[in-house]
Each structure stands twice: as structure tokens, then as C-alpha cells.
């Protein structure tokens, strides 16, 4: 009689883990090089290196945490840690851009706006500014903070593997796609720094100071205290929102909610003066690329991580030479 080996949970490196560590490694190498080229800023650069080493330790800690602590919170941290660490990466990129002090690309992006759309897109939308419309636009913009947790939870709670330690492939692929999108945008900011119309004093016609309601006031305060100068091209807000919406459509996680919110968010980034139209368009392009690439990368890596136990089981189920598996008769 042939015995089948039961599935055993063996923690493994997910592709999102390796991607995150690879990104942190790139930034640490860059910061180390800058210590030699920017001696006056060595203290700040050393602090950033320590921060990124701590982030790398957090990734590895999250990966191993469920092994030593069999608890729902440990599993949550293991699979959701990218969403918790993105803000630190974003703020760090802003500090690096500030230290490098490169020329910003805003004049060129404005020229691209004129070439593609025929005019200044912020001026086009802000001519319709009304308090009620501003509040609606800021509502759409603020909805960005709910895309990842809402779509993610919809997938996270659906199905887990037999071990109970790993969520289904839909959620894991979603987190890979989101991680790819964020980290690609962060690296892009370092190469193509842009502040956006709101930070460019020479924007033709100027950018209006918009007035709305409480959502407008809250988001304007958050933007003033949390944004970076240099992270406008591409629009990571739009890119991530489009990726999340793509997965909401694909896996039927309330797409009737996320599709209109995503469209409103894309418009609001320009209406609010935070982005050029070309930033939004390029953000959509990046999102579509990630939506296409992530499933293929996820499938390829899953094949490479085929469990040795599963392989062993498949060998056990093969008949020996000259024999056939009996059906029991």
C-alpha cells in the first residue's frame, strides 16, 4: 500500500520578500556611495543606512515570526508588512532627493502636458473649482489610503492553504503587484525627480489654493506634513490605485466601488495641483505593466518553489517499473 505524505507548512521566501530586500539593498549601496561624494551629509546618510538596515531586519523578522509565534497577529504581520513599510521607504526617498538636490523636471513635464493634452491640465480643471467639487475631489484623493487594505482584506480573508499559515495565491500575488509598483515608483523618483505643479512657482497661471470642507482641510494638512518634493513623476497614487482596481475587478472585490473611486482619484491628483496630467498617464502605464507582469512572475516563482514534499509524493504515486497502481480491486 502506498502512503501519502501530509502537507507540512514550511516557511519559504516569497518573491515579494526578495523584491523588498533587493530594493533595500540598492538603496543601502546608493547611500554608502553618497557618504563619499557628500561628506557634509554623512550623519544623515548614516542614519538612513541604519533605517534601511532596520527595514531589512523587519522583513526577515516578519518572514520568520509565524514560525516562533503561532498567532493570527504574527501571520498578519508576515503577509502585510510591505503595506506597513512603504511609508518609511517613501519618506526616505524624499530625504535622498533633498540631499542630492537635483534639478527638478517640472518644466519638461509641463511641456509634455502641452504636447499630449494641448494645454496646462491643472489650469484646465481648476477653472471649474467650486467648494463642493473640491470636497468631492479630495474625497476621491483620500480614498487612496483605503485601496490596499480594502482590496487586500477582501483577498486575505477568502482562502488559506491547508496549513492555515499562508493566504491564498490571489492575495499573495496582489501584494507582489503592489510591492512591484511602489518600489518601481520609488526608484523612478530618484532618476526623474519632480515636485508637481503645487511646488513649481513658475507654473503657468499658478495653482489655486482650493477651499472645501473637512476632508479638504484634513488632506491638505496631511499633504503639507507628509509629502516629499521630488516624488511626483510618475504618480504612485494613481499607479497603485489602478493596480488595486485591476485586482478588484479580476477577483470581484466590489469593483463597482473601486472603479469610480480610481477614476475620481486620477482626476483629483491634477485638480488638486499635485500632478501634471502626464504624471497620471505614466502612472497608469506603469500600473498596466505591473498588472501584466505580476501574475507571470508569481506563477514562475511558485513553480520554482514547488514543495519537495509534493515532489516526493508525486514520485511515490508513480508505479514501479513493471507495476501499475492498483485501484483496490
The DSSP code for 7 is: P
State in Å, rounded, how far the first CA of the chain is from the last one: 13
Partnered with residue 194 across adjacent β-strands are 230, 231
The CA distance from 223 to 55, in Å, is 24
**What's the pLDDT score for residue 303?**
85
CA distance 53 to 169: 29
Residue 270 C-alpha from the chain's centroid: 20
| Residue 49 confidence (pLDDT) | 96
139: closest CA among 24, 260, 316, 1?
Answer: 260
Q: pLDDT at position 164, please? A: 65
Helices and strands: H and E segment counts in the chain: 13, 0
Q: Which three cell numbers stand for residue 175?
A: 501584494
What pLDDT, on the 0 to 100 scale, is given for residue 59?
95
Q: What does the alpha-carbon distance between residue 123 and residue 253 come to, in Å, rounded to a whole number?
A: 35
> Using CA atoms, how far apart are residues 192 and 286, in angstroms rounded to an integer?
14
Averaged pLDDT in 10-residue chunks for the chain of 329 residues? 45 88 96 90 94 96 89 92 94 94 94 93 94 96 96 90 78 96 96 94 89 94 90 96 97 95 97 96 97 94 68 40 40
Amino acid at each position: 500500500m502506498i502512503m501519502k505524505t501530509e502537507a507540512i507548512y514550511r516557511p519559504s521566501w516569497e518573491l515579494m520578500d526578495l523584491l523588498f530586500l533587493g530594493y533595500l539593498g540598492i538603496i543601502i549601496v546608493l547611500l554608502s556611495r553618497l557618504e563619499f561624494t557628500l561628506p557634509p551629509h554623512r550623519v544623515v546618510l548614516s542614519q538612513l543606512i541604519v533605517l534601511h538596515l532596520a527595514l531589512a531586519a523587519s522583513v526577515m523578522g516578519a518572514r520568520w515570526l509565524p514560525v516562533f509565534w503561532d498567532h493570527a497577529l504574527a501571520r498578519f504581520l508576515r503577509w502585510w508588512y510591505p503595506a506597513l513599510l512603504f511609508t518609511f521607504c517613501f519618506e526616505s526617498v524624499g530625504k535622498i532627493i533633498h540631499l542630492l538636490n537635483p534639478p527638478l523636471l517640472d518644466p519638461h513635464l509641463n511641456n509634455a502636458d502641452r504636447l499630449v493634452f494641448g494645454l496646462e491640465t491643472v489650469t484646465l480643471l481648476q477653472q471649474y473649482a467650486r467648494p463642493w467639487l473640491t470636497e468631492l475631489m479630495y474625497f476621491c484623493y483620500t480614498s487612496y489610503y483605503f485601496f490596499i487594505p480594502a482590496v487586500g482584506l477582501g483577498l486575505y480573508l477568502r482562502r488559506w492553504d491547508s496549513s492555515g499559515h499562508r493566504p491564498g495565491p490571489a492575495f499573495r500575488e496582489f501584494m507582489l503587484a503592489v510591492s512591484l509598483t511602489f518600489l518601481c515608483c520609488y526608484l523612478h523618483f530618484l532618476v526623474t525627480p519632480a515636485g508637481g505643479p503645487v511646488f513649481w512657482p513658475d507654473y503657468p497661471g499658478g495653482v489655486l489654493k482650493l477651499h472645501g470642507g473637512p476632508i479638504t482641510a484634513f488632506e491638505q494638512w496631511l499633504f503639507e506634513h507628509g509629502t516629499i518634493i521630488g516624488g511626483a513623476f510618475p504618480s504612485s497614487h494613481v499607479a497603485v490605485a489602478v493596480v488595486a482596481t485591476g485586482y478588484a475587478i479580476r477577483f470581484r472585490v466590489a469593483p463597482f466601488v473601486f472603479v469610480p473611486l480610481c477614476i475620481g482619484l486620477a482626476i483629483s491628483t491634477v485638480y488638486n495641483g499635485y500632478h501634471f496630467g502626464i504624471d497620471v498617464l505614466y502612472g497608469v502605464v506603469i500600473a498596466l505593466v505591473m498588472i501584466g507582469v505580476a501574475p507571470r512572475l508569481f506563477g514562475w516563482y511558485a513553480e520554482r518553489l514547488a514543495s519537495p514534499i509534493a515532489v516526493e509524493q508525486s514520485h511515490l504515486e508513480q508505479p514501479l517499473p513493471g507495476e501499475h497502481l492498483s485501484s483496490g480491486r
